[in-house]
Structure 1
């Protein structure tokens, strides 16, 4: 009896093993059927998705027109800043990067849309970010010596601001930092932010960007920092930027008059009533350009108004990347950008002089006098009806 039971048990075990083996073979066949074709199909779907973004009109172009997109890819390729790999070409690498920063999409979501692993998306995001940053000194340039056409061709600004080369201001960008240092990054507007200093020209391009300062930092402190850097913001003798009053008037920076009406309507009942008010009005009319640039930037790159999910250094790098891409879009010229020796930069032996407190006060007094002269000349012409 026991012997028969043992035999039956053995037969049952063998039958189970055979049944499991048959089931496993069936599963493998099904999986083989599933995975044998999809490679081609996924590549096809991915290509269709990218083409739908690039060729179905501006609204599908991830906030960048195809002409600027392909020029950017060309620049990155010709200067060996990006290379196609066996599985991901340059076009796809750049599309993925722009999609993430343009619409604030997480890596795993982008992975599902492009049929790529999260690790692949993350790797190429880093690769493209590093490549974009290398374009900084090519795309973001200090202005030349000439009077900007936006001033030269407008009687309200010329000749009064003929030595003005741009506007300077700061903007707050959302920041994600460890709890232990959040107090330093909390701005007066609330939330943790980084305070980014920007200089722009009146054709809506950035000429200098300094990112990474804490949101609580004062504007004048950030400006002092950039002026002390060997590769900081440099201004030719006699030229100047228009700046917010928070930066303080100094050599190369003319601010508005404190305690004087600023945002006015020139020909309304509440128009300017004296030279200082007129100066502030014209000052704000020119400096509003930088506010417009900030608006464009935040409209184009939605990440700027949302909580970032990268580490802080990456957050700083991405702000610079926004500005580089913005300049590229505004004034793309591949023939200029692809010329000789773009990425060869000589070592700088520039020595930054340190001013004493007395020298700073004398410097501020000198530029305050220049501001008064501009304001008075402008008011005289205004009252005479020469610039209405």
Structure 2
């Protein structure tokens, strides 16, 4: 190659290098202009919002059990274990801006205090749409734990019965108690009359079975507030995946249910609740049977009390569509059982302070009492009264 060719190639290389330098310089100038004019203000606003949000979250569930329990209605151990469970099973996922702990905290604040989504905005610095989206995601995730957390009772004799002369051997085959409770509901005006309960206001009637550890073993939500407890129980028994009484076992029920295999109510027209006895001792076998029946059946009343004390959304006017209200009741029952794995807390009323004072709901199904089970109950009552000197009342 001659000298002219070499010179031309060198000029081309130098020109290309100059163009590259100029492009890099212009890119640097443009980038600095964007950072100076736009990115810095946006970064400042985002940082201020995130700092406030993270500070709130640390106060809620990172500082101590007291704050976590007051705000999320559970201590940090069950809270973090619940979040880890959702993560491990891929029921929830961390997003770029919102971790699983924050998503669950949003849900628990809503159901624990009956907050509206707009009331959550100052805490989480999120839009109503974002809070609503995560609320639905957590509600679905909790619902997926139903079969695991709400299980049939054990067939073993519970220690509460086994170690008490008041209850053993008469109630040795008892696996829990059944009752219905009314939960505040919001429904369209055309169907509101069907949901109006005996105490006024629209409610849904929730049937639940509870074992002697205060855990729910069956829950059926969604029935109208005007529905009778016995009707709801009949529906639960007829469902393909419905309520099943273990063979040879029975549940305690109130006087609103009939006497029949698997279900044992107290004697009607006889003193029953502990408050009705006061300092008086039972005068006959029926009163003694009712007293011990009541002393054992308060388990379900204590469970409902803890359930409503902890989750204020079920005892106040809700702000969600009715299908969501039914799912929320079930989710709160699942969370109730989850929390009890870590022991009882202040939301569970102590047994020695609980007297029970619920009444049967509506019509009493006297005509359908089972004769055999009535005779069995009479036999137990007679033996109790004869052996009352061997145990406390």
Q: Provide the residue aligned with 1:41 in structure 2.
A: 48
> Does the 8 Å CA contact 1:168/1:290 hold for their aligned counterparts?
yes
Q: How many residues align?
A: 333
Counterpart selection for 1:109 from 112, 119, 140: 119
- 1:316 Cα deviation (Å)? 0.3
Instruction: Note if 1:233 corresponds to 2:273.
Output: no
**How far apart in 2 are the matches of 1:93 and 1:323?**
19
Instruction: Note if 1:375 corresponds to 2:381.
Output: yes
Alignment of 1:12-51 (within 5 A): 34-51=41-58
Counterpart selection for 1:366 from 369, 372, 377: 372
SS across alignment from 1:297? helix
TM normalised by structure 2 equals 0.80
**How far apart in 2 are the matches of 1:362 and 1:63?**
43
> Does the 8 Å CA contact 1:264/1:272 hold for their aligned counterparts?
no
> Does the 8 Å CA contact 2:271/2:277 hold for their aligned counterparts?
no
4+ residue segments displaced more than 4 Å: 29-34, 265-269, 360-363
Q: Provide the residue aligned with 2:352 in structure 1.
A: none
SS across alignment from 1:208? strand
RMSD: 2.1
Gaps of 5+ in 1: 1-28, 334-359
Give the structure with higher Rg (CA). Answer: 2
Instruction: Note if 1:323 corresponds to 2:333.
Output: yes
Q: Provide the residue aligned with 2:30 in structure 1.
A: none
SS across alignment from 1:247? coil
Q: Provide the residue aligned with 1:141 in structure 2.
A: 151
SS across alignment from 2:370? helix
- 1:219 Cα deviation (Å)? 0.6
Instruction: Note if 1:274 corresponds to 2:281.
Output: no
**How far apart in 2 are the matches of 1:204 and 1:292?**
7
Instruction: Note if 1:162 corresponds to 2:172.
Output: yes
Instruction: Note if 1:299 corresponds to 2:306.
Output: no
SS across alignment from 1:202? coil
Counterpart selection for 1:283 from 267, 279, 293: 293
Q: Label 1:381 to 1:174 Cα distance change in 2 as closer, same or farther (>3 A).
A: same
Q: Provide the residue aligned with 1:58 in structure 2.
A: 65
- 1:115 Cα deviation (Å)? 0.8
> Does the 8 Å CA contact 1:381/1:387 hold for their aligned counterparts?
no
SS across alignment from 2:206? strand
- 1:44 Cα deviation (Å)? 2.2
**How far apart in 2 are the matches of 1:201 and 1:158?**
16
